[in-house]
Each structure stands twice: as structure tokens, then as C-alpha cells.
């Protein structure tokens, strides 16, 4: 089956700021999509390897990683590991990836290394999610070149909009020079605290500026979600009834609705 026949979607989950719920979003969104019978591949593209840990992938089992895909020309199929979630697979990461940006500098078409690894096998999946590192360096550029669209987790805090404008400029530069098809799939507000009036102000500002690009679902601060990674499980598996899990189920539902609408518009 060719990529066009299956029409897989590659989504880069990006924010150059750490601690915004990026990996939590990648892990739980992937789980929610798999729960509705989508075949999903999560590519851990962060040297910290937190997405891998979040699925209980022990470091000793990370023999073929995202580093090998982009620097050792190892086929994507050799790095894929099954998770405990049916239909959900992962390519793990290790700290080795931290040196990849320096190693790629001298390579031809260095921005296309991840895309070249993904494209021959993308049709094996419905969704491929790339959990990016907290920076706008060469690894993230590789993810943006490989992706169809960007999903941005945005923490509800004072500097959020400033960082988001920088990220949007980077997306525009990639679209103009490296990947003309790149779009914004959506912005999801994370670490939302309804007791904090300032949080509500940030939400109003973001929705006012970005409109329908912002998902209706908001991801709350939630203790059970914080506990889940230490058990090697997504929050949706650790406690599917907690507020955070319910929010990610709503996010996945919204994403799928947007994808259906996009397909209808393309077909019209």
C-alpha cells in the first residue's frame, strides 16, 4: 500500500520550551488514537527519552533508536517496538541523540534525514507522532520537514505567547524553504488551573489571537498524570477516569474531527 492510498498523517508535537506537557501530550494522544483503532507510531525524537520511559521501554531494550534512523541509515522497521497498547508502536530514544545535531552538520540535506527514514514506511500507519526535543535546533527542523502538520502544546503561563510567536516564525521559515505542505494542526492549552485567574486570561489571549487553531479541549494540572510515567504507563492506562485522561480523549476526538473535515475539503 502506498502512502497516498492509506493517507497517513505525520504530526510533529513541538514546543521549544521544556516542561509544557509536550511528551505527556505525545504519549496520551497516541494512546487515545490507538484506542479508536488507529494504527499509531510514536517516534521519540527527544534525547531525554521520556516518551520511551512513559511506555515502560527500559534503556537496555533501546537497541535501535531514532538516532540510528537519522545517522546510521537503519530502516525504520528495525527500530519499531510494540507497546502494551494494542495498535501503538514506538521508536525509542536515548541520550545518544543529543550529539546528533553536531554530527549532522556536515551531511548533505541534513534537514531531510528523518523524512527520508519515515517516508518509505509511513503507509504502514494511520498516524505517526514525533515527540520533538525542547529546542528549535536541527532535530526539530528534521521533524518539521518530515511532518504534515504541527501540534503545539502551550502551557498557560506569562511567557507562553512570546515563545509561541518564535515557534510560529520557525514553522513559517520551514514552510517557505523546506516543506511547503506544513500546516498547524492545532494548539492545545496544557497545565490548565481553573483556580488561577491568570490562566483564564492567557486562555482568552491565545483564543483571541489564534481563533479556531486552538482546541476546545484543555489539559488540566493533574496529579494522576504526573504519577503515570513512573509506572511506565500512559495516563489513559494508569487511570483512564482522571481529569487529564478525559481531556486527552477529548483532544483526540477533536483532532479526528479536524482530520475528517480536512479530507472532506480536499475531496470537494
User: Residue 146 has what pLDDT?
Assistant: 97
The pTM score is 0.94
pLDDT exceeds cutoff 80 at 125:
yes
d(CA 222, CA 113): 37
pLDDT exceeds cutoff 80 at 139:
yes
Angle between helices 197-210 and 160-177 (to 10 degrees): 30
Cell of residue 174, nine digits: 520551514
Q: Which of 18, 63, 6, 20 is nearest to 187 (CA)?
A: 20
Please, which pLDDT band fits residue 6 given cuts at 50, 70 and 90?
A: low
pLDDT exceeds cutoff 80 at 110:
yes
Looking at per-residue pLDDT, the higher value among 86 and 5 belongs to 86
Q: Is 142 left (phi over 0), alpha (psi -120 to 50) or beta?
A: alpha
d(CA 10, CA 131): 11
What are the pLDDT digits (tens) for 8-53?
999 999 998 888 889 999 999 999 999 999 999 999 999 999 999 9
Looking at per-residue pLDDT, the higher value among 171 and 201 belongs to 171
DSSP run (H or E) holding 4: helix 3-6
pLDDT exceeds cutoff 90 at 144:
yes
Average pLDDT, the chain: 91
DSSP state of 264: H
Amino acid at each position: 500500500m502506498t502512502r497516498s492510498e492509506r493517507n497517513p498523517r505525520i504530526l510533529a508535537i513541538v514546543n521549544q520550551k521544556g516542561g509544557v506537557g509536550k511528551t505527556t501530550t505525545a504519549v496520551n494522544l497516541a494512546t487515545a488514537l490507538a484506542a479508536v483503532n488507529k494504527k499509531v507510531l510514536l517516534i521519540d525524537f527527544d534525547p531525554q527519552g521520556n516518551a520511551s520511559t512513559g511506555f515502560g521501554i527500559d534503556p537496555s531494550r533501546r537497541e535501535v533508536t531514532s538516532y540510528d534512523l537519522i545517522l546510521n541509515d537503519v530502516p525504520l522497521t528495525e527500530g519499531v517496538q510494540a507497546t502494551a497498547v494494542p495498535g501503538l508502536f514506538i521508536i525509542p530514544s536515548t541520550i545518544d541523540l543529543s550529539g546528533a545535531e553536531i554530527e549532522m552538520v556536515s551531511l548533505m540535506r541534513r534537514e531531510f534525514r528523518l523524512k527520508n527514514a519515515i517516508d518509505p514506511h509511513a503507509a504502514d500507519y494511520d498516524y505517526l507522532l514525533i515527540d520533538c526535543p525542547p529546542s528549535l535546533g536541527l532535530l526539530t527542523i528534521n521533524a518539521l520537514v518530515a511532518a504534515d502538520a504541527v501540534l503545539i502544546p502551550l502551557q498557560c503561563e506569562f511567557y507562553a505567547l512570546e515563545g509561541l510567536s518564535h515557534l510560529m516564525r520557525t514553522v513559517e521559515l520551514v514552510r517557505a524553504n523546506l516543506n511547503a505542505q506544513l500546516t498547524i494542526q492545532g494548539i492545545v492549552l496544557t497545565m490548565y488551573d481553573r483556580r488561577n485567574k491568570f490562566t483564564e486570561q492567557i486562555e482568552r489571549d491565545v483564543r483571541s489571537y489564534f481563533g479556531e487553531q486552538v482546541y476546545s479541549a484543555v489539559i488540566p494540572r493533574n496529579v494522576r498524570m504526573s504519577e503515570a510515567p513512573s509506572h511506565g504507563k500512559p495516563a489513559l492506562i494508569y487511570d483512564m477516569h482522571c481529569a487529564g485522561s478525559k481531556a486527552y480523549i477529548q483532544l483526540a476526538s477533536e483532532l479526528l474531527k479536524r482530520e475528517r473535515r480536512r479530507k472532506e475539503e480536499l475531496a470537494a
